[in-house]
Amino acid sequence: MNIRNKKSPRAWALVVGAAAVAALAACGSMGTAKTGTSFFVSSSGPGNGADLGGLAGADAQCQKLAAATGAGNRTWRAYLSQQPTANVPGINARDRIGRGPWVNAKGVVVATDIENLHGANNLNKQTALTETGAVVNGRGDTPNTHDILTGSQPNGTYIAGNVNTTCGNWTQSGEGSAMLGHSDRTGLDESAPAKSWNSSHMSRGCSPEALKATGGAGLLYCFAAD
């Protein structure tokens, strides 16, 4: 027997101890990693048309729906812009949602980063899924709910000027209007707005009925911002 290949009990203890420390370190790293769903279209809005309770209410809706699917350990934000007024600053939707990448409930990457999200992203009817992985009804479906509230320009910034494009910064459920995007990237024609996921056209009003008549249900894009 070659005694040079035999390890003493102390040597074996050191080897086993080192392996255990490495395993614990690996488990600790896995525990802090953020994995799983980081993007979804809300399966429902708060229930009062475009009156979402402001940005905070919209974020709470995203957080609530994420928590119901086991993803509540992340910080969720609604993709919504806020128009500047005498009392509040302008806020861009693109500045609220983190840096990506973002993955849907089926594990498909919909955008790698902010620039990709506002460029050649992978958002379409098959990938812009709800928190449960369901497909959102699009053009040709009954009812069509592809109009998603955003209040944003194509580059993800708020729309300046005196035109109400956020239903009073998401506090109105009657008269007013909001900019919408098409989650299925399909509209009445082949124009860029018709295919825009975040800046397609204005709503007919802010009430649940007006949003439904336009082709929506007060749904939101929800992103994990952490």
Q: pLDDT per residue over 191-222, tens digit each? A: 999 999 999 999 999 999 999 999 999 999 99
Per-residue confidence (pLDDT) for residue 35, from 0 to 100: 66
Per-residue confidence (pLDDT) for residue 28, from 0 to 100: 37
pLDDT in tens, 54-98: 999 999 999 999 999 999 999 999 999 999 999 999 999 999 999
The SS3 of residue 135 is: strand
Neighbour count for residue 86 (Cβ, 10 Å): 4
Q: Quote the CA–CA distance of 6 and 181 in Å, as a whole number.
A: 69
The CATH homologous superfamily to which domain 37-226 belongs is Mannose-Binding Protein A, subunit A (3.10.100.10)
Under a CB-based contact definition with an 8 Å cutoff, are residues 220 and 62 in contact?
Answer: yes
The residues, any chain, with a CB within 8 Å of residue 29's CB and separated by 6 or more, are none
* Token digits of residue 88: 């509040």
Sequence spans of domains, the chain: 37-226
Give CA separation, 148 vs 18, 43, 111, 216, in Å. 53, 11, 17, 7
pLDDT in tens, 133-181: 999 999 999 999 999 999 999 999 999 999 999 999 999 999 999 999 9
pLDDT in tens, 40-58: 999 999 989 999 999 999 9
Per-residue confidence (pLDDT) for residue 65, from 0 to 100: 98
State the DSSP H helix or E strand holding residue 10, giving kind and residue range, or none if neither: helix 9-32
* Token digits of residue 206: 């802010």
Q: How far is CA 16 from the centre of its chain?
A: 45
